[in-house]
Amino acid sequence: MNERPVPAQEPLSSLDGLTRALRCLPGVGPKAAQRMALHLMQHDRDGARALGRALSRAAEVIRHCARCNTFTEDTICAMCRSPRRDPSLLCVVETPADLLMVEHAQAYQGLYFVLMGRLSPLDGIGPKEIRLDRLLKRATDGVVREVILATNFTNEGEATAHYIGELMAARGLTVTRLARGVPVGGELEYVDPGTLAQALRERRPI
């Protein structure tokens, strides 16, 4: 729709500008952007104003925690500062979204390190790009005892976990990886063969 011929005599309007700006959102194409812009103007101007303020504010104040690299407004994030977390455990995740998912599971009380990416040689993302030197420094602070690799179980996530695991093991740290297997509530009939094979290989005594 953005490619339609602009009507004569009409400069780029605020509405067109808004539609175009909405395209910066992931997964939002021209049609969705137009629908969003019209919806906001027609039904939710207060929401539009609030979102405008939230965007400007977040873009200014959000930075990376100096210890765990996740998003925060402080030098050190609240979780890294918390006395209630176990500083001997360090869970390595790819993104802040992954961190939130692990927190959501409510089964972990240690600290995190957020890579903000993963190793991906084909895309030119090597150890330097995801700044593994910072992770190394963080993990060898003398307090961390176990490094839990919670990168994704994709090819890139696995390669990242393997690479970090070697680094950490060389420093004498205990390195663990999230367990793979049948999902909770999962039915064998619907589990993919790779997961089932893994669950068999990693079967546990009960």
Interacting residue ranges for a second copy, rule: CB under 8 A: 1, 4-5, 7-10, 13-15, 17-18, 20-22, 24-27, 32, 34-42, 44-45, 47-59, 61-62, 71-73, 78-79, 81-82, 84, 95-97, 100, 103-104, 106, 116
Q: How far is the CB of 203 from a second copy (least distance, A)?
A: 32
Residue with tokens 């064998």, as numbered in its chain:
188
Pick 58 or 169: Cβ nearer a second copy: 58
Pick 21 or 200: Cβ nearer a second copy: 21
Pick 18 or 164: Cβ nearer a second copy: 18
Q: C-alpha distances in angstroms, 100 versus 63, 77, 103, 112, 141?
A: 17, 14, 5, 11, 24
Q: How far is the CB of 63 from a second copy (least distance, A)?
A: 9
Q: How far is the CB of 166 from a second copy (least distance, A)?
A: 27
Pick 87 or 165: Cβ nearer a second copy: 87
CB 24 within 8 A of CB 36: no
CB 135 within 8 A of CB 129: no
Pick 18 or 167: Cβ nearer a second copy: 18
Dump strand ranges (E) for the chain.
63-64, 71-72, 86-93, 110-114, 146-149, 174-177
Which residues 6+ apart lie within 8 Å of 144 measured at CB?
Answer: 87, 88, 89, 90, 138, 173
Q: How far is the CB of 72 from a second copy (least distance, A)?
A: 7
